[in-house]
Structure 1
């Protein structure tokens, strides 16, 4: 057995520093089959003793999970998480001296957990108050931000892609890379996939390798879409100044992966907007994009004085690198917003008169 509960004195438990407890009588908790251990593996599953039956009371189990050097561990708790009066704690290292990643109880499913090294340490502690079904969690090794797998990008004008092997030039298995892209306040983010080659969907579902796009700064934000196969997703413009990209692979097929380019959206307005523009005004904006990229224009507010033939006040889009002799796309002058305009080349010009 091992020390548990509370007692007066010092108790040393394998894998932990000596701890002091306050009680008159020492107590002892018993190890059950499947209660703790040292696991050397790149993937696997651990669960509370007797799962899916009720776990025993007065129990303390510890697990140390170790994977390959330079890799990280991702842990996911499964549904039916039930620890009403007890807890499971996860530490970012090999013992309780490491940073605490989370201490979980109740019935709320814990979030996905990612280590910063190749170790995770778990503690499952129960008292005499009662037992329940417990929990089950799976783990697998993956790459970390220092290997190009995810991270925080504060410069929205950035290019990034899936980490690939120097030998095969294909992405590795068992990846879960999450990039959070942040632009300055009041700016939006343009995301363009310049290359895209993942495992094909199964029954029209992206089940194995996929990219997920969230319109916000985490995976709880609005899910824009889940993409796989070899069809390049359409460019996306965020609705706020943050964007999250998740790249997930399973343990089988490897392909060339993805490459993305992001940029901060620019805002052009009529003079004095949102107040009235002055008379006799001619403003011209020339917008350039990198080669092979598109310019995407979204008109968010539109209210000009109307005229029958758009000859007095108008907004004009010109699809050419030069200002004269251009394809002109005049908008009708109504209070309704014009539709989205996507320019297929590299340059276009906005003229407001």
Structure 2
């Protein structure tokens, strides 16, 4: 698991996703985009053990920010640099399904090329804006319609 990711977009996941990840595992991914671009990672499915404020057991760390527990909605982490490091770590106390994530390099003044950017940084198809459904999860695609 882990490795260097250099394409403008792609995906990665915890080992064996959607089956349970193994205990005592560490994976490190480094994403590097061209110098003029920033990066974002969207976790679409996320089940990493029990939530704690410190995320000491099983966690994903993105540029120093730890994520753990179960997240029912997509979570987006954005970097204002062209490099990002993602570390997945599991201890021996608990295993869970893990995660699957997509990453994308973007030009800073256009984070969702050809799509609508939600307030929570998700990008959705423009046809979903003002369609009467909360596609963003925060309602921003239905604001002002």
The reply to whether TM is greater than 0.5 is: yes
- Can you list the C-alpha shifts for 1:240-298, whole angstroms capped at 9, x where unaligned? 100000000011311100111001113558xxxxxxxxxxxxxxxx7138xxx9329xx
Q: Out of 41, 50, 56, which is 1:191 matched to?
A: 41
Question: How much has 1:344 moved relative to structure 2?
Answer: 2.7
Where has structure 1 moved over 4 Å in runs of 4 or more? Answer: none
Task: Say whether 1:178 aligns with 2:28.
Answer: yes
2:3 to 127, 151, 158: 151
Q: Distance in 2 between matches of 1:257 and 1:320?
A: 30
Give the one of 52, 59, 65 matched to 1:210: 59
Q: Alpha-carbon deviation of 1:321? A: 2.9
Q: Offset at 1:172?
A: 0.6
Contact 1:191 1:237 in 2 (8 A): yes
Tell me the distance in 2 between the aligned counterparts of 1:246 and 1:268: 28
TM-fit CA distance, 1:320:
4.3
Q: Identify the match of residue 227 of structure 1 among 58, 67, 74.
A: 67
* Distance of 2:94 and 2:10 partners within structure 1: 28
Q: Secondary structure at 2:37's aligned position in 1?
A: coil
Change over 3 Å in CA distance of 1:287–1:233 after alignment to 2: closer
The structural deviation recorded for 1:205 is 2.7
Q: 1:320 to 1:239 in 2, by over 3 A?
A: closer
Partners of 1:233 and 1:177 in 2: how far apart? 21
Displacement of 1:236 after TM fit? 1.7
Name which one, 1 or 2, has greater alpha-carbon Rg. 1
Partner of 1:100 in structure 2? Answer: none
Q: Are residues 1:321 and 2:127 paired? A: yes
- C-alpha RMSD over aligned residues: 3.3
1:337 alignment counterpart:
none
Match of residue 256, structure 1, among 75, 78, 97 = 97
Question: Which residue is 1:240 aligned to?
Answer: 81
Q: Match for 1:287 among 111, 114, 118?
A: 114
Q: Is the 8 A contact 2:62 2:77 kept in 1?
A: no
How far the C-alpha of 1:210 sits from its partner, in A, is: 0.7
CA contact (8 A) 1:156 1:181 kept: no
1:156 shift after superposition = 3.5
Is 2:44–2:74's contact at 8 Å kept on the other side of the alignment? no
Equivalent position SS for 2:81: coil
Any stretches of 5+ residues in structure 2 without a counterpart?
none
Judge conservation of contact 2:38–2:108 (CA < 8 Å) in 1.
Answer: no
User: Partners in 2 of 1:205 and 1:237 — Cα distance?
Assistant: 21
Q: 1:160 is matched with which residue? A: 12
> Residue 125 of structure 1 aligns with which residue?
none
Matched residues, number: 128
TM-score, length of structure 2 as denominator length: 0.73
Q: Give, in whole Å, the separation in 2 of the partners of 1:156 and 1:173.
A: 31
